[in-house]
Amino acid sequence: MKLIIVESPTKAQTISQFLGKDFKVRSSNGHIRDLPKSTLGVDIEKNFEPKYIIPREKRKIVNQLKKEAEKVKEIYFATDEDREGEAIAWHLAQILSGIENLKNKNRIVFHEITEEAVKEALKNPREIDLNLVDAQQARRILDRLVGYELSPLLWRKIANRLSAGRVQSVALRLIVEREEEREKFLPQEYWTIRAKFLKNNNEFEAELYKIGQKKLDKFAIKNKKQAEEILKNLEGAFYFIKEIKEKEISKPPLPPFTTSTLQQAANRRFGYSTKKTMVVAQQLYEGIKLGKEGQIGLITYMRTDSLNLAEKFLVETRKYLQENFPSDYLPKTIRRFKTKSKLAQEAHEAIRPTSIYRHPEKIKKYLTKEQFRIYDLIWRRTLACQMREAKIKTVIIDIVARKESQDDHYFKINGTQIKFDGWLKIYPTKIDERILPELEKKERLDLLKIEPLQHFTHPPARYSEAELVKVLEKYGIGRPSTYAPIISTLFERNYVFKENGRLIPTEIGKKVNDLLIKHFPKIVDYKFTAEMEKELDEIARGKRKWQKMIGDFYWPFKKEIEEKEREIKKEKIEEKTDEICEKCGKPMVIKFSRFGKFLACSGFPICKNTKPYIDETETNEEIFGLCPKCEKGQIIRKKTKKGRSFYACSRWPDCNYATWKKPKL
């Protein structure tokens, strides 16, 4: 009998179907050892030695695994092939180290949970990669040191229960800086001139872009007066076609999905958060029950930055295209994509279906709505990347408005037409087709209308989750497995909230960011954080020792913390109000906590009265009876943006009754 240990019950259930009675497949339910929550858990004086413990909730699982391990002849660790998975395998090996059946070559890996992949992995076991384990340990210890040293400083200087993380703080900075750009933004007025023409009952519009030899930039026409002056100059002009330029361009397919591009696509198309996308992708990877076919993994491992696709899969995809599409949709050769990042692991694959023959519509009845959407997206993107380029015809027409004693005025119109859809047939993207009527050079045109249009510049848009991931990836901050946790942490700390799919910093998020930028600029520096990511990658490749890397960072950081403890004064974050405390008669002030604004008595600590700050809330109305204070309004339950319930008078602000506790009416 042989024992295979994985990290997920679903994964264990899927794998057990492929193997006979000679195998037992068990789950560790994630990490079985970790640093303690209540203490630092790192011995700084002993070269940053971690003090791992088995959490109370994992002791039962560990005991069961030990008993199972003692009854078998061989043990294999089949956790995911990334740093987290390698670390879980190492921790398991450490715990089971006294068991005789544990061999050196007991690590098996696969990119997809299919029978073929699992059986092939069992034929080629390897040793646990200690370099990957060291890289995971280094990240965990580094983040623990930053959090445990910096967070208490925030408690003492800003508000209780705040936290600062090494990577989350950089992500917060991006969001806050974008908000500051928006606040400083001043709209700028500009105008455009558009002419409408008629040809064979087809109307089309062109825009003024040049007067004489001078090309007009965006802000060339600054106001209505200038626009009207141009219209006056054009009175009585005749219009004709100066030039027609036609060009056919090839639009190559998009590469297969990596973690970040999948998160971005799911966010744009379905509004899914990074966390939701990864949860659904994990389900597809670990296995879905497909009727008589049984439970099977539908996609390859979803935490990857590689664009590589397995040779066998590429051959299978070409065969599928030959069988299901006209021949002109199949390129002459297999298309391969080169990963841009030097740090990507080419041994990994891009995210793809485990079989291209498993069409989304065929298995739709077995999937939830979210699972179908993500699987369909992955299936289409992967198939499309092996199809022919789309052919797009572009037409650029120059129209001249000519009038004696005036410079020629040039108008331009662009037309776009898809001549051959190619890969767009299976993975449509937004292409604005504008088909123009048949026109000839020097042809006179009938002007229907010419008008000035007023515009104003807009502030830069707030980040969506997809856009934030894209920027983090651009700066080299974080890795495929960390994007979703980074953003989730910002929400959990109440440093950001979401409105219309966009990320907005809270007041407390801004305060934390301001303090970090002022006093700990390195922690929130993009280049510095990216450099640390590179150093972690060097550890993973065995080119750097993790203890030295942490020491080089920690000792200067520790010294800086001690200096700032003396330098930074406690920030009194409060705003005055006209409201009076009903318990002691002193003014109420607006204060900040990690949950946002609240009202507190200025007589604290003698009077500890606090109340909700209603202006920062979202209503979730539920009537509980007549207000005991004004006896006119109704008591309504509301919720803060963090989701905490409180009760207030419906006549607010005329009646300022509000309480955390449900009133006895």
Amino acid at 625: G
pLDDT for 594 = 61
Residue 149 above 70 pLDDT? yes
Q: Of the candidates 538, 567, 596, which is a domain's last residue? A: 567
| Residue 152 is assigned to a structural domain of this protein | no
Measured CA distances, 473 to 343, 387, 646 (Å)? 12, 27, 40
Sign of CA dihedral 374, 376, 382, 387: negative
| Residue 140 is assigned to a structural domain of this protein | no
Q: Compute the distance between CA of residue 547 and CA of residue 541 in angstroms, rounded to an integer.
A: 15
Percentages helix, strand, coil for the chain (3-state, rounded to 5) are 40, 25, 40
pLDDT for 622 = 61
| Judgement on whether residues 104 and 46 belong to the same structural domain of the protein | yes
| Judgement on whether residues 170 and 208 belong to the same structural domain of the protein | no
pTM: 0.83
CATH number of residue 360's parent domain: 1.10.290.10
Eight-class DSSP state of 477: -
Residue 571 binned pLDDT confidence (cut-offs 50, 70, 90): low
Residue 402 above 80 pLDDT? yes
pLDDT for 657 = 82
pLDDT for 443 = 93
| Judgement on whether residues 107 and 44 belong to the same structural domain of the protein | yes
589 forms beta bridges with 576, 600
| Judgement on whether residues 529 and 610 belong to the same structural domain of the protein | no
Closest CA to 498 of 618, 608, 365: 618
Residue 508 above 90 pLDDT? no
Q: Compute the distance between CA of residue 635 and CA of residue 394 in angstroms, rounded to an integer.
A: 63
Taking only the tens place, the pLDDT of each residue in 179-191 is 999 999 999 999 9
Q: Are 87 and 69 in contact (CB under 8 A)?
A: no
| Residue 70 is assigned to a structural domain of this protein | yes
Taking only the tens place, the pLDDT of each residue in 532-559 is 999 999 999 999 999 999 999 999 999 9
| Judgement on whether residues 179 and 212 belong to the same structural domain of the protein | no
Q: Which domain holds residue 508?
A: 158-184+461-567
Residue 348 binned pLDDT confidence (cut-offs 50, 70, 90): confident
| Judgement on whether residues 535 and 591 belong to the same structural domain of the protein | no
pLDDT for 664 = 67
Taking only the tens place, the pLDDT of each residue in 447-471 is 999 999 999 999 999 999 999 999 9
| Judgement on whether residues 168 and 200 belong to the same structural domain of the protein | no
Residue 665 above 70 pLDDT? no
pLDDT for 347 = 54
| Residue 484 is assigned to a structural domain of this protein | yes
| Judgement on whether residues 264 and 245 belong to the same structural domain of the protein | no
| Residue 391 is assigned to a structural domain of this protein | no
Percent of the chain residues past pLDDT 90, beyond the cut: 70
Residue 357 above 90 pLDDT? yes
Q: Of the candidates 567, 586, 619, which is a domain's last residue? A: 567
| Judgement on whether residues 279 and 376 belong to the same structural domain of the protein | yes
CATH number of residue 531's parent domain: 1.10.460.10
Average pLDDT of the chain, as a whole number: 90
Mean local confidence (pLDDT), 462-481:
91
| Judgement on whether residues 636 and 553 belong to the same structural domain of the protein | no
Residue 351 above 60 pLDDT? yes
Q: Compute the distance between CA of residue 548 and CA of residue 536 in angstroms, rounded to an integer.
A: 12
- The two tokens of residue 404 are 């004696």
Residue 641 above 70 pLDDT? no
Taking only the tens place, the pLDDT of each residue in 199-227 is 888 889 999 999 999 999 999 999 999 99
Q: Of these residues, 76, 190, 285, 301, which one is catalytic?
A: 301
Residue 405 above 90 pLDDT? no
Mean local confidence (pLDDT), 394-421:
94
Q: φ and ψ at 82, to 5 degrees? A: -145, -175
pLDDT for 97 = 84
Estimate to the nearest angstrom the gap between the alpha carbon of 429 and the chain centroid. Answer: 20
Closest CA to 589 of 565, 607, 567: 607
CA dihedral 109, 113, 119, 122 (to 10 degrees): 20
Measured CA distances, 486 to 30, 181, 244, 597 (Å)? 19, 23, 51, 24
pLDDT for 346 = 45
Closest CA to 175 of 479, 517, 616: 517
| Judgement on whether residues 237 and 298 belong to the same structural domain of the protein | no
pLDDT for 569 = 81
Structural domains in the chain (count) = 5
Helix (H), strand (E) at residue 575 = strand 574-580
CATH number of residue 39's parent domain: 3.40.50.140
| Residue 141 is assigned to a structural domain of this protein | no
Only one residue has tokens 């660790």, namely: 77
Other C-beta atoms closer than 10 Å to the C-beta of 312 total 9
Taking only the tens place, the pLDDT of each residue in 602-632 is 988 899 898 887 754 444 456 677 888 887 7
Judge whether 366 counts as a catalytic residue. no
**What does the DSSP assignment read for 401-467?**
EE-TTS--EEEEEEEEEEEE-GGGGTS------BPPPP--TT-EEEEEEEEEEEEE--PPPPPPHHH
pLDDT for 644 = 67
Measured CA distances, 180 to 174, 185, 493, 510, 516 (Å)? 10, 8, 20, 10, 16
Mean local confidence (pLDDT), 109-114:
93
CATH number of residue 415's parent domain: 2.70.20.10
| Residue 150 is assigned to a structural domain of this protein | no
Q: φ and ψ at 115, to 5 degrees? A: -60, -45
| Residue 390 is assigned to a structural domain of this protein | no
- The two tokens of residue 134 are 């060291």
Only one residue has tokens 């369909």, namely: 376
Most confidently predicted of 157-166, 427-436, 513-522, 632-641:
513-522
| Judgement on whether residues 180 and 193 belong to the same structural domain of the protein | no
CB-side neighbour CA atoms (13 Å) of 78: 34
